[in-house]
Amino acid sequence: MRIRPTLNWEPTGDLPAATTDLSAVVDAVRAGGVVVLSGAGLSTESGIPDYRGEHGSLRRHTPMTYQDFVGGEEARQRYWARSQLGWRAMTRADPNAGHRAVTALTRAGLVTGVITQNVDGLQQAAGARHVIELHGSLNRVVCLRCGRTSTRADLDRRLRAANPGFEAVAERHRAARVNPDGDVELPEDAVREFRLVPCADCGTGVLKPDVVFFGENVPPERVALCRETVDGATTLLVLGSSLTVMSGLRFVRRAADAGIPVLIVNQGPTRGDRWAAGRVELPLGEALSTVVAEVAAPGPGGQEPVSG
């Protein structure tokens, strides 16, 4: 029997109460050396829903798992048909105030590392450099046979050529809601008619988005880089993540075990609250803009102002 990956988490026991006071976050950021661990909640203000919030996509949508994707042609056909429409919606999304605030803090040298669980590329689009993409990126495609990577834009062109009638389908479903994994709802008849294309390099390989699906392991070298980044932090700041899956939660636990303070800004309890020094419950764009404003004035050591 196939074991399904953990998709949901329900709070158990007494968790620390949340606050709307940002002073601890401001103090930590002002001191510098902060590492950010961001989740889908950071992108909701860009029009991309999170997985588990009040309007989270898991309420209406079960994301593709790695086991399903590699297990059959039908699942891959369904994924790529729906992703062909969803990826286009993703490319139209713009970075929001939260992304811009994180970028401003990295440029000021106060945030020294960014680990994102998001696959939408919006943090990088906001100008942040050296972002560790824990779960990969929808903008890349990998061949499961030869391992070659290519751009999603290149695959988009090839899929358009193989599916000329799909443009009419895309037009009819232009307003469909996109999910954090780039998936949208499509009728079964549109899915059944969708033609896949093989790897352009080896000619036969199965193409997969270069993202870590539910049920798939994060590459070990990426995990090691994240551990090294977290180990060098003075504070780990979690932004917009429920920390339901272990891929992100393990870094919270690692920081706490090492005595590195963990602060969380998230609307709703998280699986990491018991290891955190505090959780702030505010919209991220508002909260992070406030943090930038609070640390903008030059400090006693002549620190350069932060600009968004």
Annotated binding site for Zn(2+), which residues?
143, 146, 199, 202
- Candidate list 61, 99, 130, 135, residue with the active-site label: 135
Question: 3-class SS at 259?
Answer: coil
Catalytic residue at 135? yes
Cα distance between residue 27 and residue 37, in whole Å? 18
Measured distance CA(81)–CA(83) in Å, rounded: 6
Q: What is each CA distance from 127 to 122, 131, 133, 200, 228, in whole angstroms?
A: 9, 10, 15, 31, 23
Pairing of strands 136-143, 207-211: antiparallel
d(CA 223, CA 229): 10
Phi and psi at residue 186, to the nearest 5°: -135, 150
Q: Annotated binding residues, as ranges?
A: 39-59, 117-120, 143, 146, 199, 202, 240-242, 266-268, 284
User: Is beta strand 136-143 parallel, antiparallel or unpaired with respect to 111-116?
Assistant: unpaired
Helix H segments across the chain?
23-31, 66-71, 73-92, 97-107, 122-125, 152-162, 166-172, 188-192, 220-231, 246-257, 284-294
Task: In whole angstroms, give the CA distance from residue 81 to residue 97.
Answer: 32
The interaxial angle of helices 23-31 and 284-294, nearest 10 deg, is: 50
**Read out DSSP for 230-252?**
HHT-SEEEEES----SHHHHHHH
The number of C-alpha atoms within 13 Å of 33 and in the hemisphere containing its C-beta is: 12
Of the candidates 81, 233, 234, the one whose C-alpha atom is nearest the C-alpha of residue 156 is: 81
- Strand, helix or coil for residue 127: coil
Active site residues: 135
